[in-house]
Amino acid sequence: MIEEKLSPRFNETDALGHINNNVYTIWFDLVRVPLLKLFDKNIDAKNMPFILAHNSVDFLNEVFYGKDVIIKTALLQVGNSSMHFAHAIYQDKKLCTVAKAVMIHYCHKTKKSLVIGEEIKEELSRHLFDGNWDKTLN
């Protein structure tokens, strides 16, 4: 499991003072990077061998500017070419947001999926999670 602490920025808020719902997927992208770097430590945006195939977010509680958030990311499943991610956001130790995403290991030149090698699968499997987030952080 990957865990990151982020400080929401003022420009990420909406008119009601909440974190704008478009921001969450950006935060999840950031926290997935350490797992994607298992494929190539020098991975960069121009050579990213992945595509996002699915993204869903459930907003459970409000998240506000001015208080840090803890973002947790883990894998629910690793397939032949796909990775199924689970995400959670906590603020004030309370579960606020959960999400799921599916990324495909992909070749942009051939427009086809790529097999995830066994060595990388083994490393990814260390981040498998059952998908049940705790309601509060201890």
| Structural domain span for residue 49 | 2-125
**What tens digit of pLDDT does each residue of 83-95 get?**
999 999 999 999 9
The pTM for the full model equals 0.92
Residues 100-132 have pLDDT tens digits of 999 999 998 999 999 999 999 999 999 999 989
User: Is residue 103 one of the residues assigned to a domain?
Assistant: yes
Q: Is residue 41 part of a domain?
A: yes
User: Mean pLDDT score of the chain, rounded to an integer?
Assistant: 93
pLDDT at 17 (0 to 100): 85
Quick one: pLDDT band at residue 7, thresholds 50, 70, 90? very high
Number of structural domains (the chain) is 1
119-128 contacts, C-beta under 8 A, 24 or more apart: 120/38, 120/39, 121/78, 123/38, 124/35, 124/38, 124/75, 124/78, 124/83, 125/75, 125/78, 127/1, 127/2, 127/35, 127/74, 127/75, 128/74, 128/75, 128/76, 128/77, 128/78
Domain membership of residue 64 (yes or no) is: yes
Q: Is residue 131 part of a domain?
A: no
CATH (domain of 115): 3.10.129.10
Does 136 map to a domain? no
Q: Is there a domain that residue 137 lies in?
A: no
